[in-house]
């Protein structure tokens, strides 16, 4: 019988020897989230990628005030409560929780955009990147955060610090955008 080109034993394939498998059931409403989680874990950046936000996030309700606080001359604060804000709904785009991650930034190449070493950014992998977006991209098998733009007609990753050089992609080179930055979070105390 000739050897088959499919099926059979392959080195490194399947579950570890002797480890039992189990079939699980997932509510239909949770299938997109589970699939997004698995896709993110199977991506080339899985080793460097942070874990996704919980598929069933807890609600954090904070009181929001209608009035704004001026950063200049002090004024009387309104005691009128406008609403209660759920941070999940406030920070994550509707329906994008499974594709939204928090990444801690390392380095100073984005200070002009107000993103500093140690800040955390929310990154949405479901958004299509557009020129001008701040993105997390895979360059030489490492994640980096830069602004998506162009240099001399070539796609480039642009730093927001004059001490850093743009990463320019020439013909034949490919850029892999891991996700689009939607928010920056900074700890002040």
- Condensed to tens digits (0 to 9), the pLDDT of residues 138-149 reads 888 888 999 999
- Condensed to tens digits (0 to 9), the pLDDT of residues 40-99 reads 555 554 444 444 444 455 666 666 666 666 676 665 555 555 677 778 888 888 888 888
Per the model's pLDDT, the better-predicted residue between 36 and 108 turns out to be: 108
Question: Could you give phi then psi for residue 148, rounded to 5 degrees?
Answer: -80, 125
Catalytic (active-site) positions: 109, 146
Q: How far apart are CA 9 and CA 58, in angstroms?
A: 43
Percentages helix, strand, coil for the chain (3-state, rounded to 5) are 15, 30, 60
What was the pLDDT predicted at 20?
76
Q: How far apart are CA 48 and CA 139, in angstroms?
A: 13
Mean pLDDT of 129-140: 93
What was the pLDDT predicted at 130?
96
Instruction: Give the lowest-confidence range in 19-28, 60-69, 104-113, 128-137.
Output: 60-69
Most confident listed range (28-32, 65-69, 160-164): 160-164
- Condensed to tens digits (0 to 9), the pLDDT of residues 163-188 reads 999 999 988 888 899 999 999 999 88
Consecutive H or E run containing 148: strand 142-151
What was the pLDDT predicted at 128?
94
Task: With a cut of 50, say whether residue 189 has pLDDT above it.
Answer: yes
Instruction: Give the lowest-confidence range in 18-27, 30-39, 94-103.
Output: 30-39
Task: With a cut of 70, say whether residue 118 has pLDDT above it.
Answer: yes
Rounded to 10 degrees, the C-alpha dihedral 132/136/138/139 comes to: 60
Q: pLDDT-derived band of residue 37, with 50, 70 and 90 as boundaries?
A: low
Per the model's pLDDT, the better-predicted residue between 56 and 162 turns out to be: 162
Is 38 in a helix, a strand, or coil?
helix
What was the pLDDT predicted at 131?
95
Per the model's pLDDT, the better-predicted residue between 47 and 13 turns out to be: 13
Is 90 in a helix, a strand, or coil?
helix
């Amino acid at each position: 019988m000739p050897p088959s080109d499919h099926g059979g034993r392959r080195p490194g394939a399947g579950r570890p020897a002797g480890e039992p498998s189990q079939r699980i059931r997932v509510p239909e409403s949770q299938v997109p989230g589970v699939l997004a989680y698995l896709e993110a874990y199977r991506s080339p950046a899985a080793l460097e990628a942070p874990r996704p936000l919980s598929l069933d996030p807890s609600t954090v309700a904070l009181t929001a005030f209608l009035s704004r606080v001026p950063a200049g001359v002090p004024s009387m604060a309104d005691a009128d409560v406008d609403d209660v804000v759920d941070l999940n709904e406030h920070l994550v785009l509707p329906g994008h929780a499974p594709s939204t991650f928090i990444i801690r930034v390392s380095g100073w190449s984005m200070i002009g955009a107000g993103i500093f070493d140690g800040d955390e950014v929310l990154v949405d992998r479901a958004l299509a990147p557009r020129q001008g977006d701040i993105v997390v991209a895979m360059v030489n098998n490492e994640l980096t955060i830069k602004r998506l733009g162009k240099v001399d007609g070539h796609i480039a990753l642009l730093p927001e610090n004059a001490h850093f050089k743009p990463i320019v992609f020439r013909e034949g080179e490919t850029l892999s955008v891991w996700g689009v930055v939607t928010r920056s979070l900074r700890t002040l105390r």
